[in-house]
């Protein structure tokens, strides 16, 4: 029900994708059987990454229908497994303090209300 293969373009050595065979765009569309297989593959390959490649592993999925498909945005559900190390290239370019700011009380309350209802 799913494939695992090396990402191209890759962000780092060992960057893998887990992709359902059936064409889907949104995570809400997957069946329980597909979920089980995808999750099992994520766990299996995360263990391999942690044992053989890196001390950490990011697992993520993006749903961005507002971006047109291009070389790096594919309109097919997929999950990234990204081997991570302290101070790797990804953290050096994305984990800068100016990217992050604390929620204001107003923003926190708005978010809680949106998710509650």
Provide the token pair at 34: 């597909």
Q: What is the pLDDT of residue 66?
A: 84
Q: What is the pLDDT of residue 88?
A: 77
Q: What is the pLDDT of residue 50?
A: 96
The answer to whether 56 and 50 are in contact (CB under 8 A) is yes
Provide the token pair at 80: 């990234």
Q: What is the mean pLDDT of each run of 10 residues along the chain (117 residues)?
A: 89 91 95 98 97 94 85 87 82 66 88 88
Distances (CA, A) of 41 to 33, 48, 53, 72: 12, 11, 17, 22
Q: What is the pLDDT of residue 77?
A: 94
The model's pTM? 0.80
Q: What is the pLDDT of residue 28?
A: 95
Q: What is the pLDDT of residue 1?
A: 97
Q: What is the pLDDT of residue 57?
A: 95
């Amino acid at each position: 029900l799913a494939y695992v293969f090396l990402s191209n373009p890759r962000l780092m050595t060992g960057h893998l994708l887990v992709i359902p065979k059936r064409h889907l765009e949104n995570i809400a569309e997957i069946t329980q059987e597909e979920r089980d297989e995808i999750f099992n593959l994520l766990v299996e390959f995360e263990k391999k990454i942690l044992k053989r490649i890196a001390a950490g592993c990011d697992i993520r999925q993006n749903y961005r229908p507002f971006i047109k498909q291009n070389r790096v945005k594919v309109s097919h559900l997929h999950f990234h497994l990204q081997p991570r190390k302290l101070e790797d290239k990804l953290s050096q370019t994305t984990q800068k303090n100016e990217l992050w700011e604390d929620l204001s009380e107003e923003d926190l309350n708005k978010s809680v209300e949106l998710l509650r209802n």
